[in-house]
Structure 1
Amino acid sequence: MNAELPSMRVEDKLYYNRYLVDVGRPHVKVRAHATPSPQLLALLKACPARCYELNDKGQVEVTVDGCIECGTCRIIAGPTGDIEWSYPRGGYGVLFKFG
């Protein structure tokens, strides 16, 4: 028998993760920019946790609450210097649950 597994949206799966936010010490920062580079704009769609958004001025901002620390932003925008990324301090960041 080949029973189909129920489908689940990424957003629903991310709901099960828990985060301990290190207030005032974000592990990802977007460098100041007047207009976003193509790499920063790519993060709007590439980040699986949707942590990157455009603000009212058309600049890319990051909200680290909910970051799954996958490294996608490091690969896309890290080499260009558009973001600063470091590991969260011990005990902070994402706590994966249920695999």
Structure 2
Amino acid sequence: MADPTGPTAGSAPIEIKRRLGTLRTVTDSKEHAHITVKPPICAQCPHSFCTFVCPAKCYERIDGRLVFRYEDCVECGACDIACDQGSVTWNLPRGPYGVKYAYG
């Protein structure tokens, strides 16, 4: 049986930025970011689950260092659930900031 989550015959995978293209965000300042991470904890993390579970690819390992871009977050909370090291602090964004979903 073919993988139901894989691309169909003759199609190419769609980049995540394009898939999330209908979302709009109103980004708050870094001082009021709804997600913060603790770099010293991330530096010691043996597996970096956050880099695998984030659908918006906000987390990336570059030269052994975790780089986090809160501006691209879709507020799913997956990173908070997946981080077993206690590095991620996730709060709802202050109003009127955050994701603006397009319905219909």
TM-score for both structures, normalised by structure 1: 0.76
What letter is aligned with 1:81? G
Asked if 1:19 corresponds to 2:25, the answer is yes
Q: Is the 8 A contact 1:21 1:65 kept in 2?
A: yes
Question: Which portions of structure 1, spanning 4 or more consecutive aligned residues, are displaced by more than 2 angstroms?
Answer: 7-13
Q: Provide the identity percentage.
A: 32
- CA shift at 1:64, angstroms? 1.0
Gaps of 5+ in 2: 1-11
Gaps of 5+ in 1: 1-6
Corresponding letter in the other structure for 2:67: E
Q: Does 1:80 align with 2:85?
A: yes
- For the aligned residue pairs, the C-alpha RMSD in angstroms reads 2.4
**Residue pair 2:45, 2:85 contacting (<8 A) in 1 also:** no
1:62 matched to 2:33: no
**For this pair of structures, how many residues does the alignment match?**
91
Distance across 2 between alignment mates of 1:63 and 1:69: 12
- Partner of residue 56 from structure 2, selected from 25, 49, 52: 49
Letter in 1 for 2:101: F
Verify the 8 A CA contact 1:28 1:62 in the aligned structure 2. no
